[in-house]
Chain A
Amino acid sequence: MTAKLNGLSTRQQVMVLYTANSALDTGVIAWSFYDGTGKTVHMAGDQNDPPYSTGLDALLDGWRLIQASPLISHVSGDEFRTDYLKYEFFFEKMVEQINETEGK
C-alpha cells in the first residue's frame, strides 16, 4: 500500500489570547493554541512566554480575529467579584494541508 495524494484542503488553527484590558493593543497575560492540522500539540503549562506581546501583534502576523469577549455590566452588589479571565480574543489561521488517503 502506498499513500495517495488527494488534493488540498484547509485546516483551522485556533489561538486564544487574553489581554490586560479590552484593547487589542494591550499586553497578553494568558494564551492557548489548538492546532487543527495535527502537526503541533499544545497543553496546559507548555510555554512560559506568550507567542505575541499584544493582540495587535497577532493581527500583524496574519491571524484573523473571529471572536472577542463582550464588556458586561457589573451586577449590583457583586461588583468586586472576580472569576474568569475577562478579555478573551479568539484568532484563527486557515492552513492548506495535503490530504493523504490510503490507496493501492
Chain B
Amino acid sequence: MAKPVLLSSEKMAQFASRGFLMMEGVVPKRINDQFLNDIGKVPESEISDPMSYYGKVMGTSAIPVVNAGLPLSDAYPNDNALSKMLALPKVAGAVKSLVGDAPNFDHHFLHMTFPPSFYEDSSRPQASQHWHQDSTIDPRQAFDVQIMYFPHAVTAKMGGTRYLPGSHLRIVSEAAIGRYQNIKGQEFVTCKAGTLLFMHMGIWHGGGLNLSNKVRYMFKIRMCPTQRQERLWDTSDLGNDHYEQRPIFWTGLKGKTNPIHATLTTSEPWFEYDTGRLEYINRVLFWRYLLGDDSFDADYWLTRVENEYA
C-alpha cells in the first residue's frame, strides 16, 4: 500500500476553522464504478415511493453490514470498493491526520435523494431535508469524522448536500435547528464523480431537493478516534514563528500575515457580531487541543481574557 499523504498544517487549520475538507474527484473511476455496481439495483418499474426503494436497495446491496465499534481497517473486505477508496494515499493520509492510525467504525449509510417522479404516488411531498447536526448533543473536544463519498457527478439540479461552513463548534441538539431555512454562506455540493467531503461531526447540513431525473447517491462513513488527536498531521511546515502574535485591528497597509492565525480568525457570512468572536475563541481552543499546547493564541483573543493574577 502506498504511503499515506498526511495533511499540511494549513489544511488542518482550515479543518479546525471551517469544519470540513473537500477532495474533488480524488476517487478514480474504476472504484466509483465498482461502488455504484455494489449498491443494489431495483428495476424502475418496482419503484412506488422513496421508502420502499430504500428497502429494496438495502435488500439487494453488496455494501457490508458492519458492527459499530469494529476497527475501520476490518470494516470492509480487501476487494471492496470502500476498502480501495480508504486505501488511496490522500484518503488514508487525511483519515490518519484527523482521527489517527486506528480509528473505529461507527456506522455507514447510503443516502439517496429522489427525483420528483418518486413522489407521484407518495403521500409525502418532495422537500429538502431540514438543517441538522448528526447524532446528538456532543460537547467533546475530541471529534469524529464523517466522510461523504459522492460516487457520481453531482449537478446543481440534483440537490447536493447543503452544509454550513464554520458551524461545527456550535453545540446544538440534532434537528433542533430545523426551524432555520436559509443561512448566509450556506453551500451546496456540486462536484465531479469521486469527490470526498471530510466533515467534523458537528457541521450543520441537510440533503437538497433533487429536481433532476436521476436518484442521487451519497455514501457516508462515520469514524471515531481511539487515541488523543494531537499533532497527527504533517507538522513539518509549522514555522518557529507559529506562536508569535501579529498586529491586530490597526495593522497598517502591509501587516505580515501568519496563514494559520489568519485562517483561525476568518469570519463566515452568517457570523453574528458578538458570537463570531466567540467562534474565533473556540477555534483557537480547538487548535490548542490539536497542538497539545495551551499557550497558543491567535490575535490575542484568549490571552486577553486569560490575563488574571492570583
Contacts and interface: CB of A to CB of B under 8 A. Distances in A.
Contacts of A68: none
A89 interface: no
B209 A43 contact: yes
B273 interface: yes
B128 A84 contact: no
A91 to B, nearest CB: 14
B169 A44 contact: no
Contacts of A85: 180, 183, 272
B209 A45 contact: yes
A55 B180 CA distance: 16
Most buried by B among A19, A26, A43, A50: A43
A52 B131 CA distance: 21
A85 to B, nearest CB: 7
A81 B186 CA distance: 22
A48 B182 CA distance: 7
Interface of B: 125, 127-131, 162, 169-172, 176-184, 186, 188, 206, 208-209, 269-275, 278-279, 281-282, 285
Contacts of B208: 45
Contact of B278 (A16, A18, A46, A82): A82
Contacts of B209: 43, 45-46
B210 to A, nearest CB: 12
Nearest to B274: A21
A81 B178 CA distance: 20
B278 A30 contact: no
Nearest to B277: A80
A28 B131 CA distance: 18
A45 B162 contact: yes
A21 B273 contact: yes
B181 A82 contact: no
A68 B273 CA distance: 18
A82 B170 contact: yes
16 contacts: A21-B273, A28-B184, A29-B184, A29-B269, A29-B271, A29-B272, A42-B181, A44-B162, A44-B182, A45-B188, A47-B181, A80-B282, A81-B278, A82-B169, A82-B170, A82-B171
